[in-house]
Structure 1
């Protein structure tokens, strides 16, 4: 059947160039291929993007929005290309709008304990700049050295420090956001408290680029804690006993800044990767923890808890170099696990702390029942688990992998948990909106989307389907 298009691609690109005069606009196959399937969420997309646009300023962002509205084109916001849930991959005929060039730290204000940055600033770069002034930026996803604040905002990224400082949303005070009509709105304030109007700042955080384009971010900074930080590792017979130990530490008043868990299979993978000899059995699980502003009382308390919960091979230090060696075990977890197979899916569920032991036992059960290779680690202090499922052979996950993920999702929801703790939804999980949120809230989500983006041009089919 004949399709009679109103405009040629050349006409659209010429309009785009006119409206976004300071942007780098790429329509060649090489650049498109580099940015179309980002984060290795998938190897390719069906079709081809129209253009990859690296905006140079807000005028360029406005021009891309005007182009998309006029020609009814999807816009896919990107910054550092690190999505793991097909959240920023190209869409056939769409425009990838990259904000990676908007990467200026506009202000670090120690007196107000805030920073104002552009969305392309890398998380670690902001933290380093803040530390030069005796402050730090708390959210620290595993992708800290490579992920941008814009992406962290988009996904509400978590991290190792989440047990003490929360996720990205807990450190964001205000945003500037450009709507699809090209108007830039200011949300939130520079103050730590604000109760006026609906909290649209928090609505934007985690919206995955489906409601507007974030152009400026105001975040909290914290003073670097006084005193020494103690960091330690402790082994437990299995993940269920480790979860019991985590619960005791959480409820002790110690306020740990990190509580990370690695199951026995992951520890063995680390041993192979690091040429160490930590694993005592297939089940022996590792807890890595840190406590800021340590005192003799805190040290004594954590040792007592670990002893009461039957931890063994306990190693606690206040030496920064040794601490970094212990933390490196967590940082090297992913490359160690990934080295065991060609393909993988790393999942991201969170359950109430009281259900953590039950969830890790269920993961082992699914692994055995479906003969799936699963390595489980995660942020035990806030109930966030990352079971990683491995396979070889074909690129597409085999049936037992798909069924395993489905079972893990259903169990998580049955335990009053969430199937997206910190990695966002993207297209990987957008079929589960009704399952997690329920029919009424599912409808409300779509109504909110339609209010902000009536033409449906912002990152379509991501977040909610």
Structure 2
């Protein structure tokens, strides 16, 4: 194709038209599937590569999907028929660790855990901690404003982003933010692009904030509950206390059973749910003990404090373990922490109504839940499971929650946007999209 050859003349072997290779990069970890084959794949190695690719796509009106490691769960990176896939996986340099200012400058394809390890050599760490940290990229985390296990104490990804390098739809390169702690110059464009899911521009690099590694040895704690209401009340009390944990996760009994069958770690299957958390600092043991005092007062049992982080590693296995057991259709919703018990009870009722097992794990400290519905791998089964997911989402909204807490809207949750956002808000988002991407080439039909 003549048009493709003009792009190849710029990118050389960084442009692929091999069907098998394109297909591998036209998918992510969601249940969304490509509706047709993209025409080409760009293995970007520099910002200039991304700029050239977008300028070419914009001139021809070619839809663009952007991919990091493909760990996304909302369908935001799935390729378009006749589209262009831009992979940022090769843009994986940690450009700088500025220990004095507690900053790192990284390319978008850097793996989250690799940045954390590099920062650790300077006595620092990168606060965002998604369960997929060993595989997900910084660019992908920023694109969906990812959360993770440490949100209860450090917030979501946007709280750690100081500035961005972004390539706009027409190929222009812009920079947002600054290296200073305070910066109120102009609109907060860093926040605008963080969480924009590739709909406004392609993030190619970022300056992110680091924090000092807490002194002392961390402590991991656990408690079991026979009643989900008691578990929810315990979480609310812990979050309201002065002993803020680094991590606070809740897994229902079905989740624990499935995770243990997938990779045994010695976690006892609770009557209703298990609470797992971690404290850090020189007083980690003392804080863990005080937290478990609160938990005990809310009828938590089988209490344990350990120096091992095996409990948290088990929590990170939830997604592959559930998938292996046929619980394939997952959901991402958020509720106020005080409504945790109500939504867990509601999910149990929805499972009975639909006649399907539903497993739920939660970043309990910030009220973000990930219910996963049992379904065979067929379109009919997926549609039936989606109906259960829709009911869970409506329940979350009725409790003052949100349709997505950290995975993003993508294509999977696009139909839910109007359930939460009013018409004026949707119009404003569409206006911003038109202003920055007038030809609508960037991740069209998703995110907003």
Deviation for aligned residue 1:53: 0.7
Partners in 1 of 2:392 and 2:254 — Cα distance?
Answer: 18
Q: Which residue of 1 aligns with 2:335?
A: 351
Q: Which residue of 2 aligns with 1:334?
A: 319
Secondary structure of the residue aligned to 1:397 is helix
For the residues of structure 2 that align with 1:76 and 1:213, how far apart are their CA atoms?
A: 10
Q: What residue is the counterpart of 2:293 in the other structure?
A: 304
**TM-score, normalization: structure 2?**
0.96
Instruction: Report the secondary structure of 1:38's partner residue.
Output: coil
Match status 1:284 vs 2:281: no
1:230–1:294 Cα contact (<8 Å) kept = no
Q: Which residue of 2 aligns with 1:46?
A: 35
Segments of structure 2 that go 5 or more residues without pairing to the other structure are none
Structure 1 residues 65, 398: closer, same or farther in 2, change over 3 A? closer
Counterpart Cα distance in 2 of 1:186 and 1:136 = 24
Work out whether residues 376 and 382 of structure 2, in 8 Å CA contact, stay in contact via their aligned partners in 1.
Answer: no
**Alignment partners' CA distance in 1, 2:213 and 2:30:** 35
The structural deviation recorded for 1:175 is 0.6
Structure 1 residue 20 and structure 2 residue 5: aligned? Answer: no
Report the CA distance between 1:187 and its aligned residue: 0.5
- Is 1:77–1:97's contact at 8 Å kept on the other side of the alignment? yes
C-alpha distance in structure 2 between counterparts of 1:400 and 1:139, whole Å:
34
SS in 1 for 2:29: helix
Pairs aligned (count) = 447
Local SS of the residue matching 1:417: coil
Q: CA deviation at 1:401?
A: 1.5
Out of 155, 170, 184, the residue aligned to residue 181 of structure 1 is 170
TM-aligned CA deviation for residue 276 of structure 1: 6.2
Counterparts of 1:230 and 1:405, CA distance in 2? 35
- State the Cα distance separating 1:41 from its structure 2 match: 2.8
Asked whether 1:243 is paired with 2:232, we answer: yes
CA deviations 1:389-434 (Å, max 9, x no partner) are 1112524535532221111111111112111111011101112222
Q: Provide, for residues 226-284 of structure 1, a one-character-per-residue CA deviation record: whole Å limited to 9, x for no partner.
A: 12322111111133211111111111111111000000111222333344664456x43
Aligned equivalent of 2:199, options 181, 192, 210: 210
Q: Distance in 2 between matches of 1:391 and 1:19?
A: 46
Q: How does 1:188-207 map to 2 (within 5 A)?
A: 188-207=177-196
Aligned match for 2:345, one of 361, 365, 368: 361
Identify the residue that residue 436 of structure 2 maps to in structure 1: 452
Partners of 2:226 and 2:382 in 1: CA distance: 32
After superposition, where does 1:113-192 map in structure 2 within 5 Å? 113-192=102-181
Tell me the SS of whatever aligns to 1:18: helix
What residue is the counterpart of 1:370 in the other structure?
Answer: 354
SS in 2 for 1:20: helix
Look up the SS of the partner of 1:363 in the other structure: helix
- Please name the residue that 2:310 is paired with: 325
Counterpart of 1:436 in structure 2 is 420
CA root-mean-square deviation? 1.6
Contact 1:85–1:423 (CA under 8 A) maintained in structure 2: yes
Could you report, residue by residue, the CA deviation over 1:54-84 in whole angstroms, capped at 9, with x for unpaired residues? 1121221111112112211011111111121
Q: Deviations over 1:73-102 (max 9, x none)?
A: 011111111121111011000000111111
Q: What is the aligned partner in structure 2 of residue 5 from structure 1?
A: none
Q: What are structure 1's unaligned runs of at least 5 residues?
A: 1-9
SS in 2 for 1:67: helix
User: When the two structures are superposed, what TM-score results if normalisation uses the length of structure 1?
Assistant: 0.93
Name the CA distance, whole Å, in 1 between partners of 2:366 and 2:81: 38
- Please say which of residues 422-431 and 324-333 is displaced more in the overlay: 324-333
2:112–2:136 CA contact under 8 A, matched in 1: yes
Distance in 2 separating the partners of 1:178 and 1:263 = 42
Change (3 A) 1:298 1:329: same
Which residue matches 2:401?
Answer: 417
Counterpart Cα distance in 1 of 2:318 and 2:166: 36
| Equivalent residue in structure 1 for 2:96, among 107, 115, 124 | 107
**Contact 2:255–2:359 (CA under 8 A) maintained in structure 1:** yes
Q: Is the 8 A contact 2:434 2:440 kept in 1?
A: yes
Instruction: Give, in angstroms, the shift of residue 185 of structure 1.
Output: 1.2
Instruction: Verify: 1:233 aligned to 2:222, yes or no.
Output: yes
Give the number of the structure whose alpha-carbon radius of gyration is greater.
1
Distance 1:215 1:457 in 2: 17
* 2:73 equivalent among 84, 96, 102: 84
